[in-house]
Homo-oligomer: A and B are copies of this chain.
Amino acid sequence: MSQKKSKVRDHQIDPGRHGASHNGIGESIAKLFARSEAAVFRERADEASVSRIIERYCREPDVTTDIDLSALAERFNQSEVPTEPCDFADYLDYLAEHVVPHSVRTCSPRFIGHMTSALPYFVKLLGKLMVALNQNQVKLETSKALSFCERQALAIVHRLLFDFPEGFYAQHIQRRESTLGIITSGGTLANVTALLCARNFCLGPSNGFAGVEEEGLAEALDHYGYKGAAVIGSSLMHYSFEKAAGALGIGLRNIIKVPVDRDHRIELPALEQAIADCRARRERVIAVVGIVGTTETGAVDPLPEMAAMARKAGAHFHVDAAWGGPLMFSTSHRHKLAGIEEADSLTIDGHKQMYLPMGIGMVLFRNPHLAKVIEKQAQYVVRARSYDLGRRSLEGSRPGMALLLHAALNLLGRKGYEFLIDEAIRKTQYMADSLRARPEFEVLVEPAMNILTYRYIPEPWRERAAAGELTESDNRIINGFNERLQKIQRRAGRTFVSRTTLNTTRYGKAVPVVALRAVIANPLTGEPDIDYVLNHQLQIAATM
């Protein structure tokens, strides 16, 4: 690469001082950090190259290439660090050849299998601003305005979900002692944080005992006379609760999974029984978990009844609304979240139906003082009595993703989000209707919102399927067919739906059913795209 020295005017890195041993490397590095006019000029040119790559990438409708995975892996098998700095243009060429085309076009209108979607254009631009500001939300000394901005964005989301009186928000929104919510890197950490708060609250300080956080879980159970700690939710709880139970020392076996009904909602009598069983075994129920939008089918648990049971048991009531929370924006669909305001804590993901880029989850708290149970301090950072957000969060240093959340709330507005939610649910109904109109397909679960599970029924089984008379062995064959179908579709790269295994009650409880799973959230996905995906599946099936 060129070693010619650029005109570094404002803030100069002095490459000369370092001595001859660096052989001009100083000039190269100076250029990368420079803020001169020449640097700005070059940056604009490079930015145009990046934009061209992005535009070319977004224009293609296919989901990805059909490259063989092991061949792709082999392109990334060098483990030696490059010695010399590489030229930016060369590196962009490399990305454009080896990385970008073999990524997964999550913005494709025909990528309707996961919870990742096209994004509004402004997040790219503000993402760049976020990186340029490079604020660290852990403390006020490295964020300032953006700490207050984060608190505001969280308060707005809190209010949408809990809808406390105006005065409540006026009091807590910027109050150092209050925590309406915490931004996390994702829904998993939001769930972990919620259960951590629940655990620390349920096993807190008492009678000269310093509490579980200070003394450890074994001591805490011992002090309180419990044989264990448990978390109870439906069998459709997200696997992040297993990560949480494992990490928090609760143990995977103490995640108690209650069966669901035909609609994939937790069975309330079974929940009541599970709580009673814990009491009988002298296990402390740390939290009852309700789900708003199960990962597999988008089902919503009966929250008001669950809240009442949790309260009666003295357990924390956590609601995992990572997917379904944004239905709060919709006048037509908000009623599906009834009871959500009873939650003690609530997870919602920014990078799902809030159309933000990957990397932003949130946990919100009914009680603005609950998060005190995880408070930490350090001399050099997160001082007591400060505005420092890192005092009450599992994570430490973290980026200013709050800027994007704040922006989206303003740039989409309640009505913009409402439109997105309403449209997604409408198109899901369209897809369900399309499936029902084709004898080849079977809808497995009526969609509660915008996740749809279905499967292909090969011709010989269609009549029996329609009559609800498939045997276990029939289902095994059909399962294998659908698994192969989805794998072929995924490998081909033109379209994408995901695959899961349901324990549907349709054919008796014991029968696992392989389901094709569509997630309809991308605003670019139109009815023709849905038809295209289904037709593609029919074509594949025809060749199998």
Contacts and interface: CB of A to CB of B under 8 A. Distances in A.
Nearest to A247: B196
Interface string A13-55: 1100110001001101110111100011001101100110111
A314 interface: no
Give this chain's copy count. 2
A170 to B, nearest CB: 7
Nearest to A423: B18
A186 B81 contact: no
Interface string A372-401: 001011111110000100000011111110
A504 interface: no
Contact of A380 (B118, B185, B249, B296): B296
B228 A218 contact: yes
Given A155-B79, A249-B248, A409-B81, A121 B33 contact: yes
Residues of A in contact with B, size category: 35 or more
A148 to B, nearest CB: 4
Contact of A79 (B152, B382, B419): B152
A396 B30 contact: no
Given A80-B159, A95-B407, A243-B374, 11 more contacts: A22-B419, A29-B120, A34-B121, A39-B121, A47-B47, A54-B128, A106-B134, A131-B357, A218-B221, A239-B382, A246-B374
Interface stretch (A138-146, A436-444, A455-463, A534-542): A138-146
A235 to B, nearest CB: 11
Contacts of A507: none
A307 B149 CA distance: 44
Given A30-B523, A126-B50, A133-B103, A247 B248 contact: yes
A413 B250 contact: no
A119 interface: yes
A173 interface: yes
For the complex of A and B, list the 10 residue pairs with the smallest distance between their C-beta atoms, beginning with the closest: A249-B249, A216-B251, A217-B249, A188-B396, A185-B185, A102-B145, A79-B169, A358-B399, A32-B120, A239-B378
A10 to B, nearest CB: 6
A72 interface: yes
A187 interface: yes
B174 A73 contact: yes
A341 interface: no
Contact of A10 (B59, B130, B137, B395): B59
Interface in A135-171: 135-137, 140-146, 148-149, 151-152, 155-156, 158-160, 166, 169-170
A434 interface: no
Contact of A82 (B222, B382, B414, B501): B414
A58 interface: yes
A313 B385 CA distance: 40
A7 interface: no
A533 interface: no
A325 interface: no
B214 A141 contact: no
Interface stretch (A107-115, A256-264, A468-476): A107-115
A218 B215 contact: no
Q: Which of A79, A145, A196, A420 counts the most chain B CB atoms within 10 A?
A: A79
Contact of A85 (B136, B174, B403, B416): B416
A123 B131 contact: yes
A23 B295 CA distance: 32
Given A35-B524, A152-B76, A379-B500, A395 B136 contact: no
